[in-house]
Structure 1
Amino acid sequence: MVNIPPSLNKFLASSPSDSVLPGYSILGLKGPDAVAFAQAQFMNDVALLDVMQWQWNGWLSTKGRVIALFLLLRVAEDELLIVSPDMPAAELGRRLIGYVLRNRVQLGVWSELECVGRFGTSTVAAQQIAGDWNARQLELNLATALVPRSLHLRPRAETAVTEGASAWAMASLLGGIPSLHGEQIERWTPHQISLQLLHAVSVKKGCYPGQEIVARTHFLGKNKRQLTLLSDIALTQADPATLVCSAQFGDDQAGLAVL
């Protein structure tokens, strides 16, 4: 059973203020072929998204390894936003641009927007987007099983980066949301890091990079490893080769490993 660590529990009880999430960045996809392009490249079923809905999604290598995990928002019939917690939007856009070819889609970084984390119950339904995209003000319910919270996209302001950013990272980790940096990029298959629990990967839609490996893993039950939460002594004794990510808040540490 997963419990909220004492340091995080104390922080949440203090009614914390909003905090900018400095690692988050936003990549826009706009044009008549934006949805079709995303459907062909990404691992979740983009065609299921109505306007003002979002999903966990990601981009895989041809070997079925996760390049990036992100939130995909449909803000208009012909416009999508990628909210990337880990890989900078500029880097993700640079990698994706080579696959645009004749697709009528434009990629661009929304550097004038910021992502802000807010702890507390959100009034937005799961997978729905509240707000006004024309005003560049959006809210997503990003609660985990342990921590109620919401993510806000808005014009960049002078909002401070507080300890709330570290608390947000810890809450994500406790919710089974892995963070992929450095050597972890293109290392794990979606099932190894349990992305099916986030409903971030589809085994029913058409082809996309790595789809054959994802389908084979799912239908043949070939994956025997999964993402496991480690804390305290278990984290310090973990084999570094299995560790995907870790976070610290106050005196408490936790990590996610593939075991």
Structure 2
Amino acid sequence: MSDNPQAASTQEFPLPGHAVLALAGRDAVAFAQAQFMNDVAALGDGQWQWNGWLTPKGRVIALFALLRIDAETLWLILPDADAQALATQLQRFVFRSKLKLAPRADLHAVAAFAPAVAASGPVSADIDGVIELDMSGDDGQRRLRISTTDAEANDALASRWRAYDLAHGLPRLHADQAEAWTPQQLSLERLRAFSVKKGCYPGQEIVARTHFLGKVKRELVRLQGNGVHELDEVMDGGPVGAGAQTVRPIGQLICAEGDEGLAVMPLDAGDGPFASGNLPCTRLPLLDGLAR
């Protein structure tokens, strides 16, 4: 990393695990509208949204940024899911639709903790063939660029990016967390990542029923503590042997970076004390500004 703080703050770096899956063809938008949980038809050219694909039981298979390039081209920018595996799963539902699913191994996600030059909010920008997205939130400005040019790896900045995602309520779902949680349990309404008003899609009935009948019982909670990286259960009552009179499982950590993580917990969990990995952890507020 540069010794110059200003240079380090604007340095571009690759985002590990990020991949692009392209949907291209006459029926690309219609297919995405029928399969994914957000209102793809509401996007104009150059606009993007948080979106995802659910099981029929309403569990999140993959969470991604969906960008409409034009009327026949969509890009899924996948922070964690494998592009080829997701394309193979989606291919089973193409049937006679006129589209191709193509993992774009030639494209790289390069980021910086710096203002977007031309993109703003949900509106992307094409800068000489480089697609720029504004990924800023309440904790400062940052940008994401998709192009054929990569950047030099920087583990510290990549870790900071992931921690920023988590602090703003964007869960980073490892493969073992796929198909485990509903959009409401992940508090994805904070990101405006799903729709309860558009037409049918896999899992839509579960999502809509949960929303309209007020059956949301769990939410995403941000926790800080030395044990959160173990992704253990969250215990209500504090660490065993540290004066806790009663200890019971109350939630599950699902992703972490450093000493901060996200857990799925009951709406009435309160402010603790909590523990994970038999170490104390503290509830922190989720930050805003990442919704699109």
Q: Scaled by the length of structure 2, what TM-score is found?
A: 0.79
Correspondent of 1:100 among 80, 94, 98 = 94
* Partner in structure 2 of residue 91 of structure 1: 85
**Which position in structure 2 is the counterpart of 1:256?**
262
Q: Which amino acid aligns with 1:256?
A: L
Asked whether the equivalents of residues 28 and 99 of structure 2 are also in contact (C-alpha less than 8 Å), the reply is yes
Is the Cα contact below 8 Å between 1:35 and 1:47 reproduced in 2? yes
Is residue 28 from structure 1 mapped to residue 38 from structure 2 by the alignment?
Answer: no
Q: Kindly indicate whether the alpha-carbon contact (under 8 Å) linking 2:196 and 2:211 is maintained by their aligned counterparts in 1.
A: yes
Shift of 1:156: 3.2
Give the AA of the match of 1:161: A
CA contact (8 A) 2:68 2:75 kept: yes
Could you tell me which amino acid in structure 2 is paired with residue 245 of structure 1? C
Equivalent residue in structure 2 for 1:127, among 122, 127, 134: 122
Q: 1:144: how far off?
A: 1.9
Cα distance, 1:96 vs structure 2: 0.6
For this pair of structures, how many residues does the alignment match?
243
1:161 to 148, 153, 165: 153
Runs of 4+, deviation exceeding 4 Å: 11-14
- Picking from 212, 217, 226, the partner of 1:224 is 217
SS at match of 1:59: strand
Q: Which amino acid aligns with 1:110?
A: R
- Equivalences for residues 55-66 of structure 1 within 5 A: 55-66=49-60
CA distance in 1, matches of 2:229, 2:24: 45
Higher relative contact order (CA 8 A, sep 6+): 1
Percent pairwise identity: 45
Deviation at 1:146, TM superposition (A): 1.2
- Bigger Rg, structure 1 or 2: 2
User: Residue 139 of structure 1 contacts residue 150 of structure 1 at CA under 8 Å; is this kept in 2?
Assistant: yes
Counterparts of 2:176 and 2:77, CA distance in 1: 21
8 Å Cα contact 1:30/1:80 also seen in 2:
yes
- 1:14 is displaced (CA, Å) by 4.6
Give the secondary-structure state (helix, strand or coil) at the position aligned to 1:15: helix
Residue 54 of structure 1 corresponds to 48
Secondary structure in structure 2 of the residue aligned to 1:27? strand
Instruction: Tell me if structure 2 keeps the 8 A contact 1:117–1:164.
Output: no
Contact (CA 8 Å) 1:245, 1:256: kept in 2 or not?
yes
Structure 1 position 42, deviation (Å): 0.1
- Could you say if the C-alpha distance between residues 236 and 70 of structure 1 is closer, same or farther in structure 2, counting changes exceeding 3 Å? closer
Q: CA deviation at 1:233?
A: 5.5
Unpaired runs of at least 5, structure 1: 1-10
